[in-house]
A and B are shown apart, each in its own frame.
Chain A
Amino acid sequence: MLLEINPLVLPDIGLVFWNTVAFLVLLIVLGKFAWKPILKAINDRESGIEEALLKADKMKSEITAMQNENEALLAKAREERATLIKEAKEASEKMVAEAKDKAKSEYDRILADAQVAINQQKNAALAEVKNQVGNLVVEVAEKVLRKELSNKADQESYIKQLADGVKLN
Chain B
Amino acid sequence: MFNIQMTYNKNLFNLFVFIFIISSCSSMNVTEEVVYDGGISTVEASIQEDYPLEYETKAIFTNATVYFEFDKFNLNNKSLQTLKSAVAAMKNNPSIKITISGHADERGTREYNLALGQRRAEAVRDYFAVNGINSNRIIVKSFGEERPLSSGSDESSYAKNRRAEIN
Q: Is this pair of chains taken from one and the same complex? A: no
Residues of B near any A CB (own CB < 8 A): none
Residues of A near any B CB (own CB < 8 A): none
